[in-house]
Amino acid sequence: MAAPHTFESIAAALSEDDKVKLAGVDVDGIHRGKLISKKKFLSIAESGFGFCSVVFGWDMHDKSYFRELGISNSANGYRDLLAKVDLQSFRRIPWEDSTAFADPKDQRGVPFFLVTFHDPDTKEPIAPCPRGLLSGAVKKVREKGWSAMAGAEYEFFNFREDPHSLDANKGSTLEHMTPGMFGYSLTRPVQNQDFYYEIFNACKKFRVDIEGWHTETGPGVYEAALEFGEVKEMADRAGLFKYVVKSLGSKYGITPCFMAKPKEGLPGNSGHMHVSLVDSNGNNLFARPERDPEAGRDLAYLSDIGRHFLAGVLEGLPSVMPLLAPTVNSYKRLVENYWAPVTVSWGLEHRAASVRLISPPLASPEATRFEIRTCGADANPYYVLAAVLTTGLRGVERKLEIPVPPLGVGEGTGGGERLARNLMEAVNKMTARGSVAREVFGDAFVDHYAGTREHEWRLWEEAVTDWEIRRYIEMV
């Protein structure tokens, strides 16, 4: 394991550079950043620097929220936040050369660091900062002497469109990178092999290692399984994976699309997260050394800690849905018959469940984990992982019992609570007095985040859709 970075080691690593790129993460999981000189970077690397709070006062299209929220508003003058550099996040952007040298051996990628947003007065992470929220959840895990591990899978469509053609052609006639349904194809990637292999190679150089990389069913759809690792590092990788893919897509005239349901009648884009806990020796806390003869098939190899953790996730799921399904479009994916869960449900190796348990006899004890299948590729990975950890720990601390039986073979929904059918229904459950979300995250986060989702819902309510035009323009 490499030694942690220090200011001195970073300064030495940047000895031949003259610029650095910095980025933080907003509520939508989008990286917001800037390029600064190395001189400026070295002057703020330890103390932090001012970053305009407006990135928490507007939406993904830079439109101010209808209702002013607490972080950035006219009352505080849209003040700066304190952005603190995470030296351990250092990596180089392999597709952006930082030098003017013609010789390839002299070229190096632009240095890159992630930041966390803090209140300039208290110096504490602001409530909605994604990296800060996850750090708080990880702290609770570490207080028990444990560590959290995670993995991520992302599906995404690819359209043969650039930003200009995309702006002119908003939806139904977008050109898919490849036609038809051909999951796990060995030949389809050859049609765009430069793009396909550059993503894989760039991710490795950018410390976003891919374990598995293939076509998924759907026209122009790829899926990546990212390398399993410590949960905060995994969240960084998950967010940066989208950055890699979108950056390289622009180079090839391709628009990668991570929205949950890009096309009617086709499968959506999932963003499944795998989570486990380990003790100080690296032993999996969800694994049961020997089969429990008194438990049914699904629970036979799951430890007591694992059972309580699962119970906590299931009990909290309806309350944290806006984090797992954050957009209006998210709920178009969560429909029956597309391997997308619609109820509070779980099952051993069951892909129709909200939570899929992976354990012996089909996996090794060391690989015992939960796959959270509710979240789409549009979700903010920091929020998803924070939600899973905090609700799961709540279950462990309260010794909660699993609230619903496992899904049976061939069963698609089960008898658990129906998950929200739309974003506003989900927000109402999150903001309810005494909700699990308020308990595990606090009012400051819930009120801010809910305000951003209410903004999204209002935009949707005011929108006149293509469907409405086609349906009514002539006939009514």
The pLDDT of 352-365, averaged and rounded, is 95
Report the alpha-carbon angle 365-358-222, nearest 5. Answer: 125
pLDDT at 100: 55
Quote the CA–CA distance of 316 and 236 in Å, as a whole number.
Answer: 24
Quote the CA–CA distance of 144 and 237 in Å, as a whole number.
Answer: 25
Check whether 7 has a pLDDT greater than 60. yes
pLDDT at 328: 99
pLDDT at 108: 83
The pLDDT of 12-32, averaged and rounded, is 98
pLDDT at 291: 95
Lookup: tokens for 279? 């003790």
Model confidence at 165, pLDDT cuts 50, 70, 90, reads: confident
Pairing of β 109-118 and β 19-25: parallel
pLDDT tens digits, residue range 238-295?
A: 999 999 999 999 999 999 999 999 999 999 999 999 999 999 999 999 999 899 999 9
Report the alpha-carbon angle 419-240-179, nearest 5. Answer: 70
Which of the pair, 295 or 173, is modelled with greater confidence?
A: 295
pLDDT at 199: 98
Length of the chain equals 476
What domains are there in the chain, each with its CATH number?
16-126 (3.10.20.70), 147-467 (3.30.590.10)
pLDDT at 408: 86
Q: Are 361 and 341 in contact (CB under 8 A)?
A: no
**Class of residue 409 by CB neighbours under 10 A (exposed 0-12, middle 13-18, buried 19+):** exposed
Model confidence at 464, pLDDT cuts 50, 70, 90, reads: very high
The pLDDT of 429-458, averaged and rounded, is 99
Could you give the C-alpha distances from 279 to 83, 93, 157, in angstroms and in order?
32, 34, 38
pLDDT at 168: 81
Model confidence at 104, pLDDT cuts 50, 70, 90, reads: low
Residues 6+ apart with CB under 8 A from 430: 319, 320, 321, 322, 437, 438, 446, 449, 450
Model confidence at 172, pLDDT cuts 50, 70, 90, reads: low
Quote the CA–CA distance of 240 and 246 in Å, as a whole number.
Answer: 10
Cβ-count burial 121-135 (b if 16+ within 10 Å, e if not): eeeebbbbbbbbbbb
Pairing of β 255-257 and β 355-358: unpaired
Residues 290, 292, 296, 302, Cα dihedral to 10°? -60
Residues 243, 244, 245, 250, Cα dihedral to 10°? 90
pLDDT tens digits, residue range 389-416?
A: 999 999 999 999 999 999 987 777 788 9
**Class of residue 433 by CB neighbours under 10 A (exposed 0-12, middle 13-18, buried 19+):** exposed
Amino acid at 29: G
Q: Are 257 and 269 in contact (CB under 8 A)?
A: yes
The pLDDT of 219-226, averaged and rounded, is 98
Instruction: Please report, in angstroms and rounded to a whole number, the separation of the first and last CA atoms in the chain.
Output: 68
Model confidence at 135, pLDDT cuts 50, 70, 90, reads: very high
The pLDDT of 358-380, averaged and rounded, is 97
Check whether 427 has a pLDDT greater than 60. yes
The pLDDT of 45-65, averaged and rounded, is 97
The pLDDT of 372-382, averaged and rounded, is 99
Radius of gyration for the chain, computed over Cα atoms and rounded to the nearest angstrom: 22
In the block, which residue shows the tokens 């997308």?
Answer: 340
Secondary structure, 3-state, the chain: CCCCCCHHHHHHHCCCCCEEEEEEECCCCCEEEEEEEHHHHHHHCCCCEEEEHHHHCECCCCCECCCCCCCCCCCCCCCEEEEEEEEEEEEEEEEEECCCCCCHHHCCEEEEEEEEEECCCCCCECCCCHHHHHHHHHHHHHCCCCEEEEEEEEEEEEECCCHHHHHHCCCCCCCECCCCCCCCCCCHHHHHHHHHHHHHHHHHHCCCCEEEEEECCCCCEEEEEEEEEEHHHHHHHHHHHHHHHHHHHHHCCCEEECCCCCCCCCCCCECCEEEEEECCCCCECCECCCCCCCCCCCCCCECHHHHHHHHHHHHHHHHHHHHHCCCCCHHHHCCCCCCCCCECCEEECCCCCCEEEECCCCCCHHHCEEEECCCECCCCHHHHHHHHHHHHHHHHHHCCCCCCCCCCCCCCCCCCCECCCCHHHHHHHHHCCCCHHHHHHCHHHHHHHHHHHHHHHHHHHHCCCHHHHHHHCCCC
Pairing of β 273-278 and β 369-372: antiparallel
Which percentage of the chain shows pLDDT scores above 90?
90
Lookup: tokens for 113? 């660091």
Quote the CA–CA distance of 417 and 7 in Å, as a whole number.
Answer: 51
101-105, 121-125, 148-152, 399-403: least confident range:
101-105
pLDDT tens digits, residue range 72-92?
A: 999 999 999 999 999 999 999
Residues 6+ apart with CB under 8 A from 312: 391, 392, 393, 394, 395, 396, 398, 400
Give strand pairing partners of 454.
none
Lookup: tokens for 215? 């076509």
Average pLDDT over the chain reads 95
Check whether 121 has a pLDDT greater than 70. yes
Model confidence at 103, pLDDT cuts 50, 70, 90, reads: low
Model confidence at 169, pLDDT cuts 50, 70, 90, reads: confident
